[in-house]
Amino acid sequence: MGMLLQKNLIKSIHLVLGGLTGICLFCLVACKHSSGKKNDAVVQIGRHILTQTELNENLPVFLTPEDSLLSAEHFIRVWINDRLLYDIAQKNIADKNAIDQLVENYRRSLIIYQYQEQLVNEKLSQNLREQELRNYYEENKEIFKLDKPLIKGLFLRIPIEASHIDQARAWCKRPSAASINNLEKYSMQNAANFDYFENKWVDFNELMNTYPNPPEMPKKNTFYEQKDHQYYYFLNVSDCLLPGDNAPFQYAEPVVKEFLFNRKKIEFLQKAENDIYNKALNSGQIIFYNE
């Protein structure tokens, strides 16, 4: 019996949709040449009306006339399907009270969530002291593991027609304060890409996106050189960390910050909830029976 009802419902919908598609397209064209709220309707199903204004608001902008028509046809068809299915489902769903209860539960949860977020934004600062972050990191260093290699050092990419390439190579191999200063000037004069990151950890894989044949894993105190038809590539790795090594604080800090803030958020909301409960209890708003 259930399968027969389902087949009849689907058949009814298909028959209605087949007849309405041509009408919708006719209305769509006709509405383009009409004006005023009275003629703003594109299609109507029972008490549901799709207006030209609503249709226009849901269509992508900057489309060609052909694409605009196709997009409008698709939106109208989806709109019709949704209304027809909803109306038929309303007439055939037996337990509407259960659905109403689910809707009310979701509405209550959504309102509570929005209020809690508002309360957190108004009352709880997201600023955490760096020392607090570092303390947690040091106490839990073993849980922060790298999933990618990180390096320190310098990287230089220069056109193959650049001048004094041997000198640039020597500066990259033996970096010093004077060498770095020379490389900065050299890169400006020769349209080169120079990056010096001795004091910070850099994602090795990301840096190697421009490298023709990057090594699988970097090695500490190693100089790499490659060349293609356009550039020379010089990479000097002074230090490196590999996947599985403890992540440095620089990389772990965002995760630590998020964890500590979420922990404070939970504690704050629990306290707020307890305060609301105690206030209601003391004021007599809560009444227990059969105690």
Torsion-angle region of residue 10: left (phi > 0), alpha (psi -120 to 50) or beta? alpha
Closest by CA to 151, choosing from 193, 194, 215, 197, is 197
Confidence of residue 279 (pLDDT cuts 50, 70, 90): very high
- Burial of residue 186, with CB atoms counted within 10 A of its CB: 0-12 exposed, 13-18 middle, 19 or more buried: buried
Does this model's pTM top 0.95?
no
Closest by CA to 227, choosing from 212, 216, 242, 215, is 212
Closest by CA to 120, choosing from 256, 257, 258, 269, is 269
Average pLDDT over residues 31-49: 69
Question: Which residues in the chain belong to E strands, given as ranges?
Answer: 41-45, 48-51, 150-159, 193-203, 222-227, 231-241
Count of beta carbons in the 10 Å neighbourhood of residue 290: 3
At residue 31, does pLDDT exceed 60? no
* Per-residue confidence (pLDDT) for residue 30, from 0 to 100: 43
DSSP-based three-state secondary structure for 287: coil
At residue 227's C-alpha, the angle toward residues 156 and 148, to 5°, is 60
DSSP-based three-state secondary structure for 238: strand
Kindly compute the dihedral angle of the four CA atoms of residues 46, 47, 53, 56, in this order, to the nearest 10 degrees.
-50
Instruction: List, for residues 150-196, the tens digit of each pLDDT value.
Output: 999 999 999 999 999 999 999 999 999 999 999 999 999 987 899 99
